[in-house]
């Protein structure tokens, strides 16, 4: 048996998750999906929904380590703040379960899978399919979460390398 990793693609409306196992001979897809929050609820209730749903996913799949995409700043400050709050709930869930959480920039995730930090989502999703044969993520968020888990699998034992990559990405 290998080490089980979970990747999260944070979002307030929908957070993708993807579970893989790292074996000596490669990566194995375990499961993927997305949890959602009801946009008619208050922000606090939506964050609570995401947190509770992710606790369930973590309890079911029992990952040893987690990885989350870092927040990027977009043109809408309100959207960026909401994403940051959702990301906080996403990071808190594994931490509350004693699962260490790593963070990776979008550019490093893309570079780790495709070899290009500015690759488009189609290229990243194609590499997820190549690296995890048989994986059929139902949403783009789930595919992105698997990409984050794969990135973590590649970098988890090389924190100095990740720091160096972040500074150049």
The catalytic site residues sit at 9, 69, 141
Quick check: 27 and 146 in contact, CB under 8 A?
Answer: no
- Distance separating alpha carbons of residues 101 and 123, to the nearest angstrom: 26
Name the helix (H) or strand (E) containing 164. Answer: helix 159-168
Quick check: 128 and 114 in contact, CB under 8 A?
Answer: no
Q: What is the DSSP letter of 40?
A: T
- Distance separating alpha carbons of residues 11 and 91, to the nearest angstrom: 12
Residues 164, 2, 36, 109, Cα dihedral to 10°: 20
Q: Tokens for 139?
A: 């949403």
Task: Name the packing angle between helices 140-155 and 159-168 (round to 10°).
Answer: 120
From 37, 33, 35, 101, select the one nearest 70 (Cα to Cα): 101
């Amino acid at each position: 048996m290998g080490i089980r990793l979970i990747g999260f693609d944070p979002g307030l409306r929908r957070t993708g998750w993807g579970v893989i196992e790292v074996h000596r001979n490669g990566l194995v897809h375990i499961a993927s999906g997305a949890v959602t929050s009801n946009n008619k609820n208050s922000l606090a209730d939506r964050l609570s929904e995401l947190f509770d749903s992710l606790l369930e996913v973590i309890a079911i799949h029992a990952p040893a380590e987690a990885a989350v995409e870092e927040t990027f700043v977009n043109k809408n400050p309100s959207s960026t703040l909401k994403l940051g709050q959702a990301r906080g709930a996403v990071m808190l869930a594994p931490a509350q379960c004693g699962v260490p959480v790593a963070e990776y920039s979008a550019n490093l995730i893309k570079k780790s899978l495709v070899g290009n930090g500015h690759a488009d989502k189609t290229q990243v999703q194609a590499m997820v399919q190549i690296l995890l044969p048989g994986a059929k993520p139902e949403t783009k968020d789930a595919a992105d979460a698997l990409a984050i888990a794969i990135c973590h699998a590649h970098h988890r034992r090389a924190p100095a390398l990740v720091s160096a990559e972040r500074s150049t990405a």
